[in-house]
Structure 1
Amino acid sequence: MRDLIVTQNITVDGVVEAGDWFAPADDGSDVLDVLNEQASRADGFLVGRVTFEEMRGYWPAQTDDTTGVTAYLNQVQKYVVSTTLQEPGWEPTTILRSPGDVREIKDQPGKDIVCTGSISLAHALIAADLVDEYRLFVYPTVVASGRRLFPDGTPHSLRLTNTMPFASGIVLLTYRRTA
């Protein structure tokens, strides 16, 4: 069974979506190294329709990207959860009609499946108890309001498995779901 990993950029106060708080770190080479290492352990990339359409409109057109992000996103098996998307237009992509379809993908052989962004989808995956691990890139920022990774009423017991501070002040916290 494959692990489903939720990776989020998150503020110290737990916000993942609130206006323009997020900006990649100026000295992000160490963060990029970790992201590339994590990508090497994943062969599935899971997003919701809005995030997929935003990424599809940007990444395939990047021809001078030296970070490896474009190459990874263009070749990785993408899964998009959508009830309305008909033609993905960015291969290889599989359209899933509900978060419940993710369970079937997890049961297939392969490497990790990573869900990034897509907060509404992340909430649905958390509610369906499908997430095995959380990789939280915690930014030294407090915004005091906005959408949180764990909305009210979603208690979870997690086990910290790794911490990694970066020169930029970002800290990667990795948590595994407990039984």
Structure 2
Amino acid sequence: MRKLIVTENITLDGVIEATDWFDVADREGVDQSDLVAELREQAAASDAVLFGRVTFEQMRGYWPNRTDDTSGVTEHLNKVTKYVVSGTLREPEWDNTVILRGPPAEEIAVIKTAPGRDIVATGSIRLVRALIAADLVDEYRLFVYPVVLGTGERLFAGATRVPALRLVETRPFRSGVVLLRYRRR
């Protein structure tokens, strides 16, 4: 069975809402080759990504035609299957995209049983919270940025159904970002 992995960029105080705080790891002169290598390794282990409509549209507006990307994200996103949960999106306008119109938990549970590698959900705050509530998440990969915002959308806001987790990896990067990987107990 395929694993559903939630991968999020997150601040020290738990905010995952996308703002300009990601720039802290992209300071001029900071070697990010270790972080980029990790992203490439994770990408190689997956063959599908899962988005809510808003995050999908943001990603579709940014990644497909990037020519200056040295991280490999553009190439990966252009080739993998992209699942987008939406009742309103009619045409995905991005190759290899499947629109999921039914109940997300049911559709994703079926996708997890199909042959393939990891499925990665990223961004998509409402969708990820619904996946957590439906007990579909197998692993969390949290890229913790050394920033405290004080306000913003948090990954586990109001979460009451998160199963007990165990830490399986901690990896610091030269940029100050730390990867924390958790799996279900």
Pick the TM interval, shorter chain: over 0.9
Counting matched residue pairs gives: 178
Decide which of 146, 149, 163 is 1:143's aligned counterpart: 149
Q: 1:56-114 deviations in whole A, cap 9, x for unaligned?
A: 11211213423211111110111001111111111101111232211110011110000
Instruction: Report deviation, 1:167.
Output: 1.0
- Structure 1 stretch displaced more, 110-119 or 93-102: 93-102
| Residues 84 and 175 of structure 1: CA distance in aligned 2, closer, same or farther (over 3 Å) | same
Instruction: Report deviation, 1:18.
Output: 6.2
Q: Is 1:82 paired with 2:86?
A: yes
Partner in structure 1 of residue 104 of structure 2? 99
TM-score w.r.t. the length of structure 2 is 0.91
Gaps of 5+ in 1: none
Tell me, yes or no, if the aligned pair for 1:47 and 1:117 is still in contact at 8 Å: yes
SS of residue in 2 equivalent to 1:173: strand
User: Distance between the aligned counterparts of 1:142 and 1:158, measured in 2?
Assistant: 24
- Structure 1 stretch displaced more, 25-34 or 105-114: 25-34
Instruction: Report deviation, 1:23.
Output: 2.0
Give the partner amino acid of 1:92: N
- Structure 1 stretch displaced more, 75-84 or 20-29: 20-29
Partner in structure 1 of residue 74 of structure 2? 70
Q: Is 1:154 paired with 2:160?
A: yes
Partner in structure 2 of residue 21 of structure 1? 21
Q: Which has the higher helix share?
A: 2
Give the partner amino acid of 2:14: G
- Structure 1 stretch displaced more, 165-174 or 147-156: 147-156
SS of residue in 2 equivalent to 1:15: coil
Segments of 4+ moved more than 6 angstroms: none
Give the partner amino acid of 1:47: F
Instruction: Report deviation, 1:155.
Output: 4.7
CA RMSD of aligned residues (A): 1.4
Give the partner amino acid of 2:9: N
SS of residue in 1 equivalent to 2:23: coil
Give the partner amino acid of 1:34: E
User: Distance between the aligned counterparts of 1:140 and 1:73, measured in 2?
Assistant: 27
Give the partner amino acid of 2:149: V
User: Distance between the aligned counterparts of 1:166 and 1:82, measured in 2?
Assistant: 35
